[in-house]
């Protein structure tokens, strides 16, 4: 491959040398208003230009090959951070900018000074090409929302608008960790359309998930296989991105998956989605934004106030004497102070207090009969 590149660069260098000769010939004709160089001199200059160009490019080919390889890797990493939406609109904007530059460059076709025409044309092409690329990528979400409105006649999920109708900004990429994939609720949340932006699975998270699925421990193995099944379903339904982190040099010397996850979130300017309480705390310390599914679930649980009445069935004894434990449909634990005698029976209880903890809510209640007796 390197030899082929060297041959192609040598040929390209020869063509560049020939191009330099034509520029010299054209410039001499423009300045002297004559036919240019004499034939023997023209042949000698053109041959010297071609040979010089070929030799120069042949010598710089190895360095050029390594530079191009590094640049292509950087471009690949950068493109992985760009959404398909931004890529499409960026390309369209660049093409429109170059078309505008071409039309403007026709204004000075009559200028007699060739080098001045070249300079002005190059400046306009670079300026309008950059402006078209920058504006179209910066406003990609707004443009996409506009196309959706035109073709569907309504605002679609994934683009939140304020009362004034203006877009609130680009959605940050969501980076999933192992715990949230195994948990599985993220797939249901994505199905409802509440997750905006690109959903990313880092390659090292996929590797960790595979190691858990291959574990000798039966419980871990089942959890890992469940996570892989959920991941396959999400891939089929939502087309999530598996992010290749091998080119991220800053992650090579970090052994811990959680630390890698936070570092990648900082690089991508993304949001970590997790169920891990400790990871949540570390991310808060490092200033990395986090979406915790458990916090979301606790927030969405129905509000229960002291004095409210509900019906439930105690299923087991509590820690203290006379207590019984029941659960709501969302998994919230209710401790019935005097419910031991009612285990297995549906009873009416009245909420006495609600305790909010980091793990969730705990509700304390008394049976309605004992509550009435206390009031009397």
pTM of the prediction?
0.46
Tokens linked to 63: 């360095």
- The pLDDT value recorded for residue 308 is 87
- The CA angle 215-212-218, to the nearest 5 degrees, is 45
Domain ranges, ordered by start, for the chain: 1-80, 174-298, 303-375
**Cα–Cα distance measured from residue 199 to residue 168, given in angstroms and rounded to the nearest whole number:** 19
Question: How far apart, in whole angstroms, are the C-alpha atoms of residue 226 and residue 214?
Answer: 12
pLDDT at 153: 47
Distance CA(38)–CA(319), nearest Å, equals 108
Residues in the chain with pLDDT values less than 50: 153-169, 373, 375-376
Q: DSSP for 236-256?
A: HHH--EEE--TT-GGGTT---
* Multiple choice CATH, 303-375, 3.40.50.12160, 2.40.50.140, 3.40.50.300, 1.25.10.10: 2.40.50.140
In this prediction, residue 99 carries a pLDDT of: 92
Task: List Cα–Cα distances, 143 to 88, 100, 134, 146, 351, in angstroms.
Answer: 11, 20, 13, 5, 52
Kindly report the CATH class assigned to 174-298: alpha beta
Q: Specify the pairing of strand 333-336 against strand 324-327.
A: antiparallel
What pLDDT is recorded for position 147?
A: 67
| Residue whose C-alpha is closest to residue 55's, from 12, 22, 20 | 12
pLDDT score, position 149:
58
State how far the alpha carbon of 195 is from the alpha carbons of 40, 60, 91, 225, 365, in Å. 72, 49, 26, 24, 36
Task: Tell me the HSE value of 132 on the side-chain side, using a 13 A CA sphere.
Answer: 19
Q: Please indicate whether the domains covering 174-298 and 303-375 agree at the CATH topology level.
A: no
């Amino acid at each position: 491959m390197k030899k082929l590149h060297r041959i192609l660069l040598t040929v390209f260098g020869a063509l560049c040398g020939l191009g330099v000769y034509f520029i010299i010939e054209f410039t001499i004709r423009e300045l002297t208003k004559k036919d240019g160089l004499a034939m023997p001199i023209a042949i000698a200059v053109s041959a010297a230009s071609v040979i010089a160009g070929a030799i120069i490019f042949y010598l710089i080919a190895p360095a050029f090959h390594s530079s191009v390889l590094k640049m292509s890797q950087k471009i690949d990493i950068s493109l992985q951070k760009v959404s398909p939406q931004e890529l499409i609109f960026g390309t369209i904007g660049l093409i429109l900018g170059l078309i505008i530059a071409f039309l403007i460059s026709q204004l000075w076709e009559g200028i007699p000074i060739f080098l001045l025409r070249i300079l002005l044309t190059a400046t306009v092409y670079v300026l309008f090409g950059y402006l078209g690329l920058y504006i179209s990528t910066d406003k990609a979400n707004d443009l996409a929302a506009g196309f959706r409105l035109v073709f569907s006649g309504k605002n679609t999920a994934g683009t939140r608008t304020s009362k004034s109708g203006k877009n609130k900004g680009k959605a940050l990429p969501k980076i999933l960790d192992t715990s949230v994939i195994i948990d599985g609720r993220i797939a249901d949340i994505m199905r409802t359309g509440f997750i905006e932006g690109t959903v990313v699975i880092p390659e090292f998270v996929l590797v960790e998930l595979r190691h858990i699925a291959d574990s000798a421990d039966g419980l871990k193995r089942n959890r890992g296989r469940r996570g892989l099944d959920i991941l396959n379903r999400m891939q089929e339904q939502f087309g999530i991105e598996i992010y290749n982190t091998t080119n991220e040099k800053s992650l090579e010397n970090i052994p811990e998956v959680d630390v890698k996850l936070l570092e990648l979130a900082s690089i991508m300017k993304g949001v970590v989605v997790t169920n891990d309480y400790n990871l949540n705390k570390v991310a808060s310390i490092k200033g990395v934004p986090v979406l915790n599914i458990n916090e979301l679930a606790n927030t969405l649980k129905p509000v229960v106030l002291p004095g409210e009445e509900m019906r439930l069935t105690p299923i087991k004894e509590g820690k203290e004497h006379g207590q019984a434990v029941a659960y709501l449909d969302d998994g919230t634990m209710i401790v019935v102070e005097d419910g031991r005698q009612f285990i297995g029976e549906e009873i009416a209880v009245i909420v006495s207090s609600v305790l909010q903890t980091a793990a969730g809510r705990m509700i304390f209640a008394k049976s309605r009969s004992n509550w009435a007796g206390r009031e009397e």
